[in-house]
Amino acid sequence: MSGSVAAGAVPAVRVSGVRKAFPVKGGGETVALEEIDLTIERGEFISLIGPSGCGKSTLLRVVGDLVAPSAGSVEVNGKPAARARLDRDYGMVFQAPVLFDWRSVEANVRLPLEIQGVGGSERDARVREMLELVELGGFAKHYPHQLSGGMQQRVAIARALAFQPALLLMDEPFGALDEMTRERLNAEVLRVWARTGTTVIFVTHSIPEAVFLSTRVVVMSARPGRISDVIPIDLPQPRDEETRETDRYYELVTEVREALRAHHGPAAGSVASLERARAEGGIG
């Protein structure tokens, strides 16, 4: 899985000239995104990284047609984003699992299929397959409150994949988990990505996470949110725990950190503190 596709194929995502401004009370506006151009090939794993307020979550939402851009256009698989949403091309995973506490694990994963109108044995089979994929086959009948945070997030991933979406949008899905759980889930996401061939856009505050997962890391800067750098990650696939100990991995981590620092001064180098200092409002 190299992420590059034969020239001429329709890209998974094409963002051109996107600008997003939010009106501010008392007149004026806050510009969250400015001049965003980004093309993502099918099967790529793209991380969006940047300080709080750089608009990376907004960009994710614009791509997912949850927020309309003020200018510019988004095409997904050659279709406008709104069309892609209606065609159910998206899977979404948020920082919180957002599971429904009145539904069992399997019923949570089944929800998107119920809405899509997939019925009967096909639906049940798909649910079982997705739960196996995230290694929660034995927890189908459990309720969310009986699971750990990491397990809940895996249910959310299984649910996002239930449609077999062309594009998986993940908004800091592991930001609230401890480091060890996060690393384990990173490996799991890579495995799922390799098996399903889904294109992934992944918002994160963590440099190591971005480097470990991605085929390309998109570095953003704040006020207004812009893409300041795109760093290809040429670590070989498949990646595992040993990848994290290679020299190339450290070089890339350093490269991403320097790209972040270049645009935000020395303070922005400590992304770990940024992770905690998440005071994000409408922009994120």
Partner 1 sequence: MSAPPPGDAPFPPGVDVAEADDPTAAADVEARADALATGSDRGAEAVVGRWSSPGGRLLRTALALVAFFAVVAVLWEAFKWLAGDPWRLEGILGTSLSYEHFPPFRVLQATDLQLPHLWSIAEALAAPVQRSQETSLFTYLVGAAAYTLAEALIGFLLGSAIGIALASVFVHSRLAERALLPYVIASQTIPIVALAPIIVVSFGRGLTSVVIISTYLTFFPVTIAMVRGLRSPDPRALELMRSYAASRWAIYRKVRLPASIPYLFTALKIAAAASVVGAIIGEAPGGVKEGLGRALVNFNQQYITGPEKLWGTILVAALAGISFYVVVRIVEVLVLRDRGRQEA
The residue ranges that bind partner 1 (CB under 8 A) are 61, 64-66, 85-88, 90-92, 94, 96, 98, 100-104, 111-112, 114-116, 142-148, 150-151, 163, 169, 179-181, 183-185, 187, 206-208, 211, 240-242, 244-245, 250, 253-254, 270-272
Q: How far is the CB of 151 from partner 1 (least distance, A)?
A: 6
Three-state secondary-structure class, residue 203: strand
Judged by CB, which is closer to partner 1: 5, or 96? 96
Compute the least distance from the CB of residue 68 to partner 1, in Å. Answer: 12
Q: How many CA atoms lie within 13 A of 107 on its CB side?
A: 9
Q: For 147-153, which contacts have Cβ atoms below 8 Å and span 24 or more sequence positions?
A: 147/105, 149/97, 149/176, 149/177, 149/181, 150/177, 150/181, 150/184, 150/185, 152/97, 152/99, 153/93, 153/97, 153/177, 153/185
Comparing CB distances to partner 1, the nearer of 29 and 258 is 258
Q: Which of 268, 239, 233 is nearest to 251 (CA)?
A: 233
User: How many Cβ atoms from other residues are within 10 Å of residue 157's Cβ?
Assistant: 24
What's the one-letter identity of residue 246? T
The residue among 147 and 219 lying less far from partner 1, judged by its C-beta, is 147
Beta strand pairing status for 167-171 and 199-204? parallel
Task: Give the nearest distance from C-beta 16 to partner 1 in angstroms.
Answer: 22
| Closer CB to partner 1, 181 or 196, in the complex | 181
Instruction: State the minimum distance, in angstroms, from the CB of residue 161 to partner 1.
Output: 13
Q: How far is the CB of 78 from partner 1 (least distance, A)?
A: 18
Q: Measured from the CB atom, is 139 or 224 closer to partner 1?
A: 139
Cβ proximity to partner 1: between 7 and 145 the closer is 145
Report the run of H or E that residue 47 belongs to, with start and end: strand 45-49
Nearer to partner 1, 29 or 135 (CB): 135
Nearest to 157 by CA among 180, 133, 137: 133
Nearer to partner 1, 22 or 143 (CB): 143
CB of 226 to partner 1, least distance (A): 24
State the minimum distance, in angstroms, from the CB of residue 257 to partner 1. 8
Q: If 0-12 CB within 10 Å is exposed, 13-18 middle and 19+ buried, where does residue 15 land?
A: buried
Rounded to whole angstroms, what are the CA distances from 101 to 91, 112, 133, 148?
20, 16, 22, 14
Question: Which residues, 6+ apart, have CB-to-CB distance to 130 below 8 Å?
Answer: 109, 158, 159, 161, 162
* Shortest reach from residue 160's CB to partner 1, in Å: 9
- Cα separation, 140 vs 189, whole angstroms: 20
